[in-house]
């Protein structure tokens, strides 16, 4: 079920109620586990089996890793986990993509290959929970972490509903220790957790769905040729939409976990105030970028084997990171562009190691970063390269046949929401939300919280799925 639904409101009220009853800690954990399976089954009940498979495989793989005496056996257990998880991900997420590309390749060399049609349904959140379970086995394999003490704690780590379908991608060392001792939110944790959930849902329901998504749709999902204003407005709208959608999900998830007494990590740190792309990736989808860094970039050699190897590892990481988002070459292009940006930045940093920009140049570099990030969003949002080129040409003012597409209200929405968003990120770039809330008068917190909740209610969201569910 989605956070922005009436079903979730009732579900969460029941979970909070159960969690506050005087059961033993083990019973409470079993309740949370069952609730998490229900949360997942509410989309498509049979797919719970995939969760079980992923849970059981990694549980036994980690046990095998600990018991193994020979390095080769440890390797085998690790490979079993990786193959099982990536195999499942590959079949459900990339099966049709691989088949389509194979068919195109055959066709290109003159072989008419007509495979049977497979109607593979993508299990929601599979990319997130396979990465979470893999990090468990890999951390044990890399001797960074000890395996969980019992299956219940481990299964709850994999399945815990706040992070299950769209992250933040938790590491076992972040969550499993929290299941060791009884936890119940204090009154203030519960209230602040509810405030965070309101903030997250405001981002999703009001800003992303009500004010920005249609603007992007009108340009990206239509056959009309956009001019510079429409192409930029739609792309900026998408940049705001995807942040508000995904950061909104993460904030709601963090708030939901806090209401139950658990801590989840930040997934965003005001990324549109990033200066440079390494800074951007330490602010955007932090739990994915750090996962890719720890389990892909570093094992590929990272920075330790010279510049050439580092560039290759970087590009491979970002291309695969792009593909992680979806089975489409446009996502690969998105990842490739980010890889290119990071590589250029790395080269410039090496060339101008002693350069320190003035404050004005610093802000200009930040705006340049945001502009270039927007160029990558075109490939992320466009369903085809054809559409991406049309929008990019529009952004460059090269669509001679363009006619206005977006109404004044749409343009004003984008200017107000995205302008406000970027400004907020700059004001908050070296702060935390908590530090700002702590310094704000209580009456103002109260008014802002009530206004956000009111806006959520009157926005009448249609329970739209979060964008990242499809990944």
Partner 1 sequence: MPSSISSSEALVGVPDHAGESAPNRYARRTAADRPGVAQPVPERPVPAQPWGRILLGTVLLLALLVAGWEEYWRAYGVSPGNTNTYGLWAIQRRRIDAGEGNATVLAGASRLYFDVQLPVWERLDGRRPIQLSFEGTSPLTTVEDLAADANFTGRLVIAVEPDLFFSGYQYRAGAIRYAKKESPSQRVGQWLSMRLIEPYLAFDDPDYALESVLARQPWPQRPGLQSHTRVRKLAETEADRNTHLWSKLETDPQYREMARSIWRQDFEPSPDDPSPAEALKIEKEQIERMAKAVAQLGAHGVKVLFVRMPSNGEYLAFENREFPRARTWDALLASTRAPGIHFEDYRQLQGYYLPEWSHIAGSQAERFTAALYDIIRRDFWGPGASGSADKAQAAK
Residue 401 interacting with partner 1 (CB under 8 A): no
Residue 90 or 463: the one with the smaller Cβ distance to partner 1 is 463
- Closer residue to partner 1 in complex, CB, 113/403: 403
Active-site annotation holds for 325: yes
Which stretches of 326-358 are DSSP H helices? Answer: 329-351
**185 or 388: whose CB is closer to partner 1?**
185
Among 16, 42, 48, 316, binds partner 1 (CB under 8 A): 42
How far apart, in Å, are the Cα atoms of 336 and each of 102, 166, 316, 328, 339?
22, 23, 8, 13, 5
Print burial letters for 64-81: b (CB count within 10 Å at least 16), e (below 16): bbeebeeeeebeebbebb
| The binder of partner 1 chosen from 20, 26, 27, 44 (CB under 8 A) | 44
Closer CB to partner 1, residue 112 or residue 355? 355
Helix pair angle (359-381, 408-428), 10° resolution: 130
Contact region with partner 1 (CB under 8 A), list: 15-23, 88-96, 192-200, 387-395: 192-200
Going from the C-alpha of 160 to that of each of 24, 246, 270, 346, 358, the distances in angstroms are 18, 18, 26, 38, 46
Backbone angles phi, psi at 165, to 5 degrees: -100, -15
| Touching partner 1, residues 255-284 (CB under 8 A) | 258, 263-266, 269, 275-279, 281-283
Decide: is 177 part of the binding site for partner 1 (CB under 8 A).
Answer: yes
Q: Which position among 19, 163, 285, 325 bears the catalytic label?
A: 325
Size of the site for partner 1 (CB under 8 A): 110
Q: Which residue has the tokens 């049609």?
A: 117
Q: Which stretch binds partner 1 (CB under 8 A): 17-25, 242-250, 290-298, 382-390?
A: 290-298
Q: Which of residues 89-148 bind partner 1 (CB under 8 A)?
A: 139, 143-146
Q: Which of 170, 93, 159, 87 is nearest to 127 (CA)?
A: 93
Among 411, 426, 464, 470, binds partner 1 (CB under 8 A): 411
DSSP string spanning 273-324? G-SSHHHHHTTSSHHHHHHHIIIIITTTTTTTTHHHHHHHHHHHHHHHHHHH
Q: Does 303 bind partner 1 (CB under 8 A)?
A: yes
Length of the chain as a residue count: 471
- Selected from 122, 199, 219, 459, the binder of partner 1 by CB under 8 A is 459
User: Minimum CB separation from partner 1 for residue 264, in Å?
Assistant: 6
Q: To which residue do tokens 């992320």 refer?
A: 380
- Please choose, out of 56-64, 126-134, 380-388, 445-453, the segment that lies near partner 1 by the rule CB under 8 A: 445-453
Restricting to residues 343-362, which ones interact with partner 1 according to CB under 8 A? Answer: 343, 345-346, 349, 356-359, 361-362
> Mask 214-253, x = binds partner 1 (CB under 8 A)?
x---------------------------------------
The tokens for 210 are 């009500």
Residues noted as catalytic: 325
């Amino acid at each position: 079920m989605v956070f922005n639904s009436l079903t979730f409101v009732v579900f969460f009220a029941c979970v909070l109620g159960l969690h506050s009853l005087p059961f033993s800690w083990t019973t409470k954990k079993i309740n949370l586990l069952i609730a998490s399976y229900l949360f997942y089954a509410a989309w498509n009940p049979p797919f719970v089996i995939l969760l079980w498979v992923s849970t059981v495989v990694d549980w036994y793989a980690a046990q095998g890793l600990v018991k193994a005496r020979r390095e080769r056996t440890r390797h085998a257990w690790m490979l079993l986990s990786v193959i099982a998880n990536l195999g499942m991900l590959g079949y459900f997420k990339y099966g049709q993509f691989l088949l389509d590309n194979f068919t195109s390749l055959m066709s290109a060399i003159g072989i008419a290959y007509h495979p049977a049609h497979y109607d593979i349904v993508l299990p929601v959140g599979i990319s997130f929970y396979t990465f979470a379970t893999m990090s468990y086995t890999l951390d044990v394999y890399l001797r960074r972490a000890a395996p969980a003490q019992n299956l219940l704690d481990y299964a709850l780590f994999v399945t815990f509903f706040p992070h299950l379908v769209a992250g933040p991608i938790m590491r076992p060392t972040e969550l499993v220790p929290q299941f060791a001792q009884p936890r119940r939110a204090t009154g203030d944790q519960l209230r602040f957790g509810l405030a965070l959930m309101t903030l997250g849902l405001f981002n999703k329901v009001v800003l992303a769905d009500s004010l920005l998504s249609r603007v992007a749709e009108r340009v990206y999902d239509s056959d009309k040729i956009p001019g510079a204003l429409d192409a930029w407005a739609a792309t900026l709208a998408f940049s705001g939409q995807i942040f508000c959608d995904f950061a909104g999900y993460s904030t709601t998830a963090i708030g939901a976990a806090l209401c139950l007494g658990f801590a989840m990590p930040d997934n965003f740190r005001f990324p549109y105030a990033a200066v440079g792309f390494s800074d951007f990736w330490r602010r955007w989808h932090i739990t994915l970028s750090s996962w890719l860094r720890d389990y892909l970039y570093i094992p590929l050699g990272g920075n330790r084997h010279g510049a050439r190897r580092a560039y290759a590892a970087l590009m491979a990481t970002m291309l695969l990171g792009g593909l992680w988002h979806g089975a489409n070459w446009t996502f690969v292009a998105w990842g490739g562009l980010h890889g290119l940006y990071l590589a250029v930045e790395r080269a410039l940093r090496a060339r101008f190691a002693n350069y320190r920009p003035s404050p004005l140049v610093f802000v200009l570099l930040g705006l340049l970063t945001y502009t270039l990030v927007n160029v990558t969003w075109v490939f992320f949002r466009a369903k085809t390269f054809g559409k991406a080129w049309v929008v990019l040409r529009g952004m460059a003012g090269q669509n001679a046949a363009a006619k206005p597409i977006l109404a004044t209200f749409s343009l004003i929405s984008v200017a107000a929401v995205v302008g406000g968003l970027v400004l907020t990120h700059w004001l908050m770039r070296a702060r935390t939300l908590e530090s700002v809330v702590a310094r704000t008068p209580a009456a103002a917190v109260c008014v802002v919280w009530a206004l956000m909740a009111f806006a959520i209610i009157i926005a009448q969201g249609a329970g739209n799925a979060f964008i990242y569910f499809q990944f």
